[in-house]
């Protein structure tokens, strides 16, 4: 059997964006699983010990082709379908949260840029990001506003440039990046009509970048607090038209990203379940293994059912996204994220309980999983935001189609 390097496997998985060579994809899944269990755990220990993600991990993931799995081949990616990519993301999510965050963001942010990019912008922004030559940070959240049409970061147009002012925070990879994919509004505007998307160069004058404090979990992933004071941004670096900022943010990134985050919840919960089952099979008390005790076996059974239900809803949401014309995808993406996050909360809590007191110590692998899981509750929008989106879409459908027969 001919051997292939990790990079060649990743880049040769598919012939088109719709056709997948299942044998090659299976080989890639096996490769990713081995990487997560081997080098991934070495990196996890190092990240927890040093509190930072070394450049070497970025380089290794790029060289293996893991940062461009979901992008089209013509952009330099592997061309995987979204559904196939999510199967790999589940595996990556069993590793350290910062490692899966790198894979998740790099395989998703190109979509937001690409959907409104001109050919010239695609060459400048999209292709370098897919190839790992440029690092882009998704820059939406603000410390003084809600996330969405409530943006307060604003721009004033001055000839062929915008002057950008305001604040952003909790920006993942916002310190060590090449560009910020930033969302602001025209000064004096309100609502989504005044929003716009800008590709802001990291070296732009008038920007103050401050690393934020260490987080409870997902350690090592740099997060930035950004302050802009009349920072000049070329109009040529705007994606789409003025007024389309939220379309870039929501349709291009947040909708598929919420589906992807749902799968990261599945992967992390799967890791917690594996640890709990291993402990239950090997821990003996009063002459019996924990797995022989009904209370413990019921927890394991509940976790297994929870996991599979969430995985299937995520898979359904991915298929809806792939259809391209689905009216349900916005609601379903929020549904799968909501359900998967709640599932992860229950599974990790039971997994820690199965470990008993020893699971609370940092020497136990479940302790890191438990900490990392909490971040999923607000990544790509809190549960409350997801419920708001779901209710809005459901009510809108009833208003459009008429109430059901009572």
161/298 same-domain check: no
For β-strands 238-239 and 195-201, DSSP reports them as antiparallel
147/232 same-domain check: yes
Residue 15 has a pLDDT of: 32
269/386 same-domain check: yes
pLDDT digits (tens, 9 = 90+) for 207-264: 999 999 888 888 988 899 999 999 999 999 999 999 999 999 887 788 999 999 999 9
CATH number at residue 91: 1.10.540.10
- Taking the model in full, what pTM does it have? 0.90
Asked whether the predicted pLDDT for residue 180 surpasses 50, the reply is yes
Average pLDDT over residues 306-322: 97
* Cα–Cα dist 246/376, whole Å: 22
CATH number at residue 210: 2.40.110.10
395/251 same-domain check: yes
Residue 19 has a pLDDT of: 57
* Cα–Cα dist 188/75, whole Å: 38
Range with lowest mean pLDDT among 165-174, 288-297, 344-353, 392-401? 392-401
Nearest to 227 by CA among 211, 212, 208: 208
Query: Strand, coil or helix: what is 211?
Result: strand
* Cα–Cα dist 128/130, whole Å: 6
The CA-to-CA distance between both ends of the chain, in Å, stands at 64
> Which residues, in sequence order, are CB contacts of 78 under 8 Å at separation 6+?
10, 11, 12, 13, 14, 65, 68, 69, 70, 71
Quick one: how many helices (H) and strands (E) in the chain? 15, 10
Is 112 among the domain residues? no
Asked whether the predicted pLDDT for residue 45 surpasses 90, the reply is yes
Average pLDDT over residues 322-339: 92
Considering the chain, what is the average pLDDT of its residues?
A: 91
> Which residues, in sequence order, are CB contacts of 149 under 8 Å at separation 6+?
191, 192, 195, 246
Verify whether residue 380 is a known catalytic residue: yes
Residue 2 has a pLDDT of: 33
Asked whether the predicted pLDDT for residue 265 surpasses 50, the reply is yes
258/229 same-domain check: no
- CB-CB contact of 241 with 270 (8 Å): no
Residue 235 has a pLDDT of: 98
183/74 same-domain check: no
319/356 same-domain check: yes
Is 129 among the domain residues? no
Question: How far is residue 58 CA from its own chain's centroid?
Answer: 16
Q: End of a domain among 208, 243, 278? A: 243
- CB-CB contact of 37 with 19 (8 Å): no
Asked whether the predicted pLDDT for residue 266 surpasses 80, the reply is yes
The torsion angles phi and psi of 130, rounded to 5 degrees, stand at -60, -40
Q: What is the 3-state secondary structure (H, E, C) of 237-300?
A: HEECCCCCHHHHHHHHHHHHHHHHHHHHHHHHHHHHHHHHHHHHHHCEECCEEHHHCHHHHHHH
256/395 same-domain check: yes
266/237 same-domain check: no
* Cα–Cα dist 360/40, whole Å: 22
Is 36 among the domain residues? yes
Is 91 among the domain residues? yes
Q: End of a domain among 243, 263, 279? A: 243
Is 193 among the domain residues? yes
Asked whether the predicted pLDDT for residue 184 surpasses 60, the reply is yes
Q: Which of 31, 90, 242, 380 is the catalytic position?
A: 380
Is 19 among the domain residues? yes
Residue 14 has a pLDDT of: 33
Q: End of a domain among 196, 220, 243? A: 243
Asked whether the predicted pLDDT for residue 11 surpasses 90, the reply is no
- β-bridge mates for residue 20, sequence order: 14
pLDDT digits (tens, 9 = 90+) for 79-115: 999 999 999 999 999 999 999 999 999 999 999 999 9
- CB-CB contact of 97 with 43 (8 Å): no
Asked whether the predicted pLDDT for residue 54 surpasses 90, the reply is yes
* Cα–Cα dist 129/120, whole Å: 14
Percent of the chain with pLDDT strictly greater than 90: 82
Other C-beta atoms lying within 10 Å of the C-beta of residue 4: 15
Is 119 among the domain residues? no
Split into its structural domains, the chain has a count of: 3
Residue 344 has a pLDDT of: 98
Q: Is the dihedral of CA 252, 255, 256, 261 positive or negative?
A: positive
Asked whether the predicted pLDDT for residue 128 surpasses 80, the reply is yes
257/167 same-domain check: no
What is each CA distance from 270 to 23, 134, 195, in whole angstroms? 24, 32, 39
CATH number at residue 330: 1.20.140.10
Range with lowest mean pLDDT among 171-180, 213-222, 280-289, 389-398? 213-222
User: Six-digit token pair at 276?
Assistant: 């709990």
Residue 403 has a pLDDT of: 63
Query: Strand, coil or helix: what is 138?
Result: strand
184/214 same-domain check: yes
Average pLDDT over residues 347-373: 96
Asked whether the predicted pLDDT for residue 5 surpasses 50, the reply is no
Q: What is the DSSP string of 109-137?
A: HHHHHHTT--HHHIIIIIHHHHTTSS-EE
User: Six-digit token pair at 252?
Assistant: 């291009």
285/260 same-domain check: yes
The domain of 74 spans: 7-107
Residue 399 has a pLDDT of: 86
Is 302 among the domain residues? yes
Percent of the chain with pLDDT strictly greater than 70: 94
Residue 12 has a pLDDT of: 31
């Amino acid at each position: 059997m001919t051997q292939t390097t990790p990079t060649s496997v990743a880049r040769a998985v598919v012939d088109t964006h719709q056709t997948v060579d299942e044998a090659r994809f299976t080989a890639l899944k096996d490769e990713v699983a081995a990487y997560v269990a081997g080098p991934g755990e070495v990196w996890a220990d190092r990240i927890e010990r040093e509190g930072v993600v070394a450049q070497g991990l970025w380089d290794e993931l790029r060289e293996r082709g893991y940062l461009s799995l979901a992008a089209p081949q013509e952009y330099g990616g592997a061309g995987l379908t979204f559904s196939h990519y999510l199967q790999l993301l589940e595996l990556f999510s069993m590793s350290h949260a910062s490692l899966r965050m790198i894979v998740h963001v790099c395989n998703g942010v190109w979509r937001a840029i690409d959907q409104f990019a001109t050919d010239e912008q695609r060459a400048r922004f999209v292709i370098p990001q897919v190839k790992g030559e440029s690092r882009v940070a998704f820059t939406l959240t603000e410390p003084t506003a809600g996330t969405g049409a409530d943006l307060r970061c604003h721009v004033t147009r001055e000839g062929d440039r915008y002057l950008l002012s305001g604040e952003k925070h909790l920006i993942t990879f916002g310190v060590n990046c090449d560009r910020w994919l930033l969302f602001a509004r025209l000064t004096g505007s309100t609502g989504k009509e005044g929003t716009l998307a800008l590709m802001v160069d990291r070296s732009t004058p008038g920007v103050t970048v401050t690393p934020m404090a260490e987080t409870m979990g997902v350690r090592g992933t740099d997060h930035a607090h950004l302050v802009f004071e009349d920072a000049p941004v070329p109009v040529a670096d705007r994606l789409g038209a003025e007024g389309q900022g939220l379309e870039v943010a929501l349709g291009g990134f947040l909708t598929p990203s919420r589906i992807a985050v749902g799968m990261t919840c599945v992967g992390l919960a799967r890791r917690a379940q594996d640890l709990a089952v291993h402990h239950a099979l090997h821990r003996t008390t009063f002459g019996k293994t924990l797995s022989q005790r009904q209370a413990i076996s019921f927890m394991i059974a509940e976790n297994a059912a929870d996991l599979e239900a969430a995985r299937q809803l995520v898979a359904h949401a991915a298929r809806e996204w792939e259809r391209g014309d689905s009216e349900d995808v916005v609601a379903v993406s929020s549904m799968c994220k909501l359900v998967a996050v709640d599932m992860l909360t229950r599974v990790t809590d039971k997994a820690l309980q199965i470990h008993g007191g020893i699971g609370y110590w940092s020497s136990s692998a479940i302790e890191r999983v438990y900490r990392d899981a909490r971040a999923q509750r607000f990544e790509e929008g809190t549960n409350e935001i997801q419920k708001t989106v779901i209710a809005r879409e459901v009510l809108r459908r009833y208003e459009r189609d008429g109430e059901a027969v009572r």
